[in-house]
Amino acid sequence: MKIQALGAIGAIAVVASSAHAYLRVTEAMSSSGTGGTNDWFEVTNYGSSAVDVTGFKMDDNSFNFANSVLLNGITSIGAGESVIFVESTSSSFDVASFQTFWGGLSGVQIGFYNGSGAGVSFSSNGDGVVVFNASGAEMTARATFGAATSGSSFYFNLAPNTGIVSTVGTIGTQVTFATTGSLVNTGSLGTAIGIPAPGAVALLGIAGLVGGRRRR
């Protein structure tokens, strides 16, 4: 009993500590959007301090660091901040055009990755995404998604970070953007839904640990 109690205390300490730097994939677009916009995914920092993402990489549903590609254009994600990484084969990716297409995205950091050249590119038939640090440790939960609906993004729950909440229309505070011309795409880029306080994140992690013990 004492050993179990100590283990639980240790787990709580680890989870509470992780609240300071807690990244999740919170949204993804794998249908390229109507109008030919690039695929992209959103990363949100649910922690209480900024995270240095220099040297971070991403992979699709092979979830393999050896296959991963570098994330460019963003070096730090602030506490409570959501950023976007867009697939681009060029280092001169036009951030301004992407922001304009998605309604401005004022104040939202936009980075990019060259996925196509390395065979890391989202399939509209279903795929996934994970983010690694420079050493190869997984810094986000693995987000997976099925067949896409053209012009609509996938939004992921905090716990667990798998499954689709919405593929068509809006949900919660998800925004429908009037994009270039008469095209309409659905997404909530840069505005992750329901960001909890750091303490709530820690409690979610503890609940997951307890739930896992009970299922055994």
For 183, other C-beta atoms within 10 Å of its C-beta total 15
> Which tokens is 117 given?
């050249």
Amino acid at 10: G
Q: Which residues contact 167 (CB under 8 A, 6 or more apart)?
A: 148, 149, 152, 154
The CATH class given to the 20-215 domain equals mainly beta
7 Cα distance to chain centroid: 30
Q: Which residues contact 82 (CB under 8 A, 6 or more apart)?
A: 26, 42, 43, 44, 45, 108, 189, 190, 191, 192
Residue with tokens 């280092």: 91
Amino acid at 30: S
Write the DSSP symbol of residue 79.
T
Cα 130 to Cα 102, 149, 168, 205, distances in angstroms: 23, 21, 23, 19
pLDDT, one tens digit for every residue, the chain (216 residues): 434 444 433 433 333 334 446 899 988 988 766 666 788 999 999 999 999 999 999 999 999 999 999 999 999 999 999 999 999 877 677 788 888 778 778 889 999 998 776 778 899 888 999 999 999 999 998 998 888 877 778 877 665 544 454 444 444 445 555 555 556 677 778 877 655 555 445 444 433 433 343 333
- Size of the chain in residues: 216
Rounded Cα distance, 112 and 121, in Å: 12
Question: pLDDT at position 42, please?
Answer: 93
Rounded Cα distance, 147 and 126, in Å: 5
Radius of gyration of the chain from its Cα atoms, rounded to whole angstroms: 18
DSSP H or E run through 59: strand 57-59
The domain ranges of the chain are 20-215
Question: pLDDT at position 19, please?
Answer: 42
> Which tokens is 176 given?
């429908």
Question: pLDDT at position 169, please?
Answer: 41
